[in-house]
A and B are shown apart, each in its own frame.
Chain A
């Protein structure tokens, strides 16, 4: 462990490789985190099934490529399929728990998370899957830094999606309705906004964001049925750090988390990378709580 740490500092190009690759992967985390922030802000739900939506999005692209489609077409396809699935999940389950106690919605979405995780395992097997986007890699510094073009693409797309989301919430009619509902659902209803439809569209939009993230994840990295919960926790962490209504903060926190996680995986060993993600979340929550307690306020 200490050897890895000293290697990391003694050999800057290696460090650059680890950090840059982490940053690029972090864009995928940011993409999933936008969705979580949206659902959290508008529906007041912590969507524990978030990670499974990402993984299912990845499987859609994987299956599309298996069926002979070009990988990059998998991205819009994943987003579209997951948009529909998100809408269905809302209509079937989530709308029943929107106005309930927050623990009920956490447990319900946690149940959905187990359900989808096990369905994915039963339908697609537990193998680790990946898709070659066929874009090749960018080599810098005599090949010590290798950046797959698909990761660069993911990075650009995630930033673009963030910008598009910001514009959408600000200027589109539905986006304005979503913001109004987030601020005060009762007032929105009085003003004639169909909040139930807004909730459904928000959840579906979240599905699309997750689908896109999953599609990029399967091209830039790997997926398997049990990798969902880490994505949920990453999104949660990013939103906790950035704040619910802060698109730019979500990007920054997502990228930072990606870099941090990659460095930790390098230093502690890849077998501890997932442990690091979960432990980091616990540390962030404890730290935030300690800060709040100093000001004698509480996290509700």
Chain B
């Protein structure tokens, strides 16, 4: 399997605080990669660096072999690299169907190409994806009126609508009703296998990530602590120490 995303020796500082130090990480084409680590270990900062929210101080990031470290969020998204947010970001005053329509890949086009109604095929695809995450009967509701968990599902569906090659998910199960988590894991897996989206998932729920990911990287204090298969990482003494605060 070839590398889709390569993070090479990335360091990111905020003022005097080093959020990421010399972080390297590879996500291979077609896999589900996990990113774990205690609170404040720099996972979300790394997502920001990868998707262009801020410039990195040192190191480089490659997507499909090309450097993206100097790019801003929009061009990176157009390359097919997308993220979701821990606190979820949706278009609150628009309906779910509209949220889906404007998240379609063709909305990346030049400004004058937007001067056309939403094609019927896009509408259908939006409906299908809403049904996929179980929000179909909410499609004419304002997105802002959904519950937090439903908004997370909507954000996930919007990301799929954009047909990314790689999707970074920031704690997809946080705030989701525990009884629905198994359904969500199933959908993440189907997005990976049926829609061919490579995933990089930040997750705090160990049961979820051990179940879901093919490979896991563990960050602590902004540095890569361990990586390997779920079993390897789980049995790594240092990971346990990091979570228990010994390291």
Contacts and interface: CB of A to CB of B under 8 A. Distances in A.
- Direct A–B contact present (CB less than 8 angstroms): yes
Interface of A: 295-297
Nearest to B48: A296
Contacts of B55: 295-296
Contacts of A297: 54
Nearest to B73: A296
Contacts of B136: none
Contacts, number: 8
Contacts of B72: 296
B118 interface: no
A192 B53 CA distance: 39
A160 to B, nearest CB: 34
Interface string B50-65: 0011110000000000
A296 B53 CA distance: 7
A296 B54 CA distance: 6
Contacts of A296: 52-55, 72
A170 to B, nearest CB: 25
Contacts of B53: 296
A167 B53 CA distance: 40
B119 to A, nearest CB: 32
Interface in B29-54: 52-54
Contacts of A295: 54-55
A136 B52 CA distance: 62
Contacts of B54: 295-297
A295 B14 CA distance: 12
Nearest to B54: A296
A297 B15 CA distance: 14
Nearest to B52: A296
A296 B71 CA distance: 10
A295 B55 CA distance: 7
Nearest to A293: B72
A295 B54 CA distance: 7
A118 B106 CA distance: 52
Interface in B107-132: none
Interface in B50-106: 52-55, 72
A65 B55 CA distance: 60
A297 B72 CA distance: 11
CB-CB nearest 8 A-B residue pairs = A296-B54, A296-B55, A296-B72, A296-B53, A296-B52, A295-B55, A297-B54, A295-B54
Given A296-B52, A296-B53, 6 more contacts: A295-B54, A295-B55, A296-B54, A296-B55, A296-B72, A297-B54
